[in-house]
Amino acid sequence: MHDLADAELRQLYQESLLHHSRHPCNFGELTPPMREARGYNPLCGDKITVQLRETGDRLEAIAFSGSGCAISLASASLMTEAVKGMTRRETEELFAAFTALCLGAEQARATPLPARHEDLNIFAGVREYPMRVKCATLPWHTLRAVLEQRETATTE
């Protein structure tokens, strides 16, 4: 019984996800000028700060800090890697595709990830754990809050 459950859990906690959570990319703070927002998951107390600097319409630099579970840290790490250099419109599109990916197979087929962002597919595993979807999407909601000039984002 343990073996079966462990095998299913390994689909969620893949090595690359655990690796990103333990060695996150872009973890830290930017030097000014930059903008930032804080994201909260009131359900579990996770908090994250996303900072970014834009040049014209492009996301020139991005960093995050905070504390949370493996899923939220890995998601923030991969998100910051993915959106660096993107325009706002590209960021919005990726936000939509990522959210769809976490929600279900049908949604993911309707709004697929672009081929070059297939590494984000490791978060498809959260679909089986509805309580954890918000852990994966919190960094993305926080990123959107910075872009929309809001100070905070929440998953509730």
Partner 1 sequence: MSDLSQSVTPSPTAKTAAPDESPKKTLNGAGEKIGAVTVASLRDEFPYFADENAVVYLDSASSAQKARVGLDAMNDLYRHHYANVHRGAYRLSAESTAAFENARRQIARFLDAENSREIIFTRGTTEAINLVAGSLGEQMSPGDEIIVSELEHHSNLVPWQLLAERRKLKLRFWKIDARARLALADLAPLLGARTRLLAMTHVSNAFGTITPAAEAAAMARDAGALVLIDGAQAVPHLSVSVRELGADFYAFSGHKLYAPSGIGALWGRGEVLETMPPWQGGGEMITEVSLARSLYQPPPARFEAGTPPIAEAVALGAVCEWLMTLPRELLRTRLHGIFARAHELLSATAGVEVYGAGVAESAPTFSFNIADAHPHDLATYLDSHGVAVRTGHHCAQPALAALGLEATARASFGLYNNTADAERLAETVAAAANFFKR
Residues lying near partner 1 in the complex (CB under 8 A) are found at 1-2, 5-6, 8-9, 12-13, 18, 22, 43-46, 67-71, 129, 131-132, 135
Which CB atom, from 9 or from 105, has the smaller least distance to partner 1?
9
Per the rule left: phi > 0, alpha: psi between -120 and 50, beta: everything else, 84 is beta
Task: Report in angstroms how near the CB of residue 18 gets to partner 1 at its nearest.
Answer: 7
Task: Report in angstroms how near the CB of residue 3 gets to partner 1 at its nearest.
Answer: 10
- Choose among 82, 57, 55, 58: nearest CA to 139: 82
Which CB atom, from 70 or from 86, has the smaller least distance to partner 1?
70
What whole-number distance in Å separates Cα of residue 65 and Cα of residue 86?
Answer: 20
Which CB atom, from 123 or from 147, has the smaller least distance to partner 1?
123
Contact 21, 71 (CB under 8 A): yes
How big is the CA angle at 121 (ends 47 and 4), to the nearest 5 degrees?
A: 90
- Choose among 136, 77, 68: nearest CA to 101: 136
Task: Report in angstroms how near the CB of residue 123 gets to partner 1 at its nearest.
Answer: 14
